[in-house]
């Protein structure tokens, strides 16, 4: 085993944070990305061992989420949002310019191991489109020129600070934070900018407030009654859904059903 005993100890520490230990899988994978550089085959095995689940279950999670990588990532993961709004505001142009400038394609790393480029989906930062991320820190209102300057700074080892966040660390350091081991950067930089707060400012100026909840929906009795009604509906839905199969079983062999499990049409057109 090449995974250090200290890392395995921290994996167990993460697992102990949750009432259901398998809930710890996501931060555990982040920790292994920090220590190993990506989700290795051994990382999958050790997660399965610590959580007492199968390697297939771990692998299913690790291959579902795009933040988990199955091959080494550069010191700086550079994301370019090419979702609809960012794309029309210049995200597509930025991505093309960076591919040319760095000499890599999507999800590829420069030869010096500094930068991995990836097009990413909407980061819920559309008010600052087009948006880029570096190790998941935001860089707002980018242009092809500012994007090139940004990756050049990263490659040169210059100190780079996010538009609404902290100074940029390495990808491995950022992965450790995502695993739940904070560093000293949490309070660096602003958390929200004027565009995100415009609605709040307007509401305060005009004294707009959310409607008060009605008394009916807030009493414990009302909530309990609502839950009971939902539960009753669910049970009756199950009963209805189960009835065709019951009928089929009692009426004859399963070969009377179609291959998709439905009963044959009354008109016998199949």
Smaller CB separation from ligand FES, 97 or 114: 97
* Complex with ligand FES: residue 84 or 243, whichever CB lies closer: 84
CB-based contacts of 122: which residues, under 8 Å, 6+ apart? 81, 83, 84, 85, 86
Nearer to ligand FES, 68 or 139 (CB): 139
φ, ψ at 240 (rounded to 5°)? -65, -45
Q: Report in angstroms how near the CB of residue 187 gets to ligand FES at its nearest.
A: 24
Token look-up 């350091």 returns 173
Cβ(135)–Cβ(76) under 8 Å?
Answer: yes
Exposed/middle/buried for residue 232 (C-beta within 10 Å: 0-12, 13-18, 19+)? exposed
Q: Report, in Å, the least distance between residue 142 CB and ligand FES.
A: 11
Residues that bind ligand FES (CB under 6 A): 81, 83-86, 122-123, 125-126, 129, 131
Shortest spacing between CB 81 and ligand FES, in angstroms: 3
Neighbours of 205 (CB within 10 A): 8
Residue 1, classed as helix, strand or coil, is coil
Q: Would you tell me how many other CB atoms lie within 10 Å of the CB of residue 174? A: 23
- CA dist 180 and 45 (Å) reads 21
* 86/179 with CB nearer ligand FES: 86
CA distance 227 to 240: 20
SS3 of residue 39 by DSSP: coil
Name the residue nearer to ligand FES (CB basis): 29 or 120: 120
- 24 vs 86, which CB is nearer to ligand FES? 86
Q: Coil, strand, or helix at residue 54?
A: coil
What is the distance of C-alpha 259 from the center of its chain?
37
CB of 90 to ligand FES, least distance (A): 11
Tokens found for residue 206 = 């005009």
Nearer to ligand FES, 11 or 125 (CB): 125
Residue from 92, 165, 164, 80 nearest 122 by CA: 80
């Amino acid at each position: 085993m090449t995974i250090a005993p200290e890392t395995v100890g921290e994996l167990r520490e993460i697992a102990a944070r949750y009432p259901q230990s398998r809930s710890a899988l996501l931060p555990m994978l982040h920790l292994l990305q920090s220590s190993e550089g990506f989700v290795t085959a051994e990382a999958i095995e050790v997660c399965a061992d610590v959580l007492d689940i199968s390697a297939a279950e771990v692998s299913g999670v690790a291959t579902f989420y795009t933040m988990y990588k199955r091959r080494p990532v550069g010191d700086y993961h550079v994301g370019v949002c090419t979702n609809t709004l960012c794309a029309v505001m210049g995200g597509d142009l930025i991505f093309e310019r960076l591919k040319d400038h760095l000499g890599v394609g999507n999800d590829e790393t420069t030869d010096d191991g500094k930068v991995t480029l990836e097009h990413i989906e909407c980061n819920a930062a559309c008010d600052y489109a087009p948006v880029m991320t570096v190790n998941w820190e935001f860089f707002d209102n980018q242009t092809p020129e500012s994007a090139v300057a940004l990756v050049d700074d990263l490659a040169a080892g210059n100190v780079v600070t996010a538009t609404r966040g902290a100074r940029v660390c390495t990808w491995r350091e950022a992965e450790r934070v995502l695993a739940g081991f904070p560093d000293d950067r949490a309070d660096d930089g602003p958390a929200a900018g004027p565009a995100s707060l415009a609605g709040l400012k307007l509401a305060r100026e005009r004294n707009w407030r959310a409607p008060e909840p009605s008394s009916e929906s807030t009493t414990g009795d009302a909530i309990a009654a609502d839950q009971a009604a939902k539960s009753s509906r669910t049970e009756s839905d199950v009963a209805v859904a189960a009835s065709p199969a019951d009928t089929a079983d009692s009426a004859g062999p399963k070969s009377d059903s179609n291959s998709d499990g439905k009963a044959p049409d009354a008109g016998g057109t199949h």
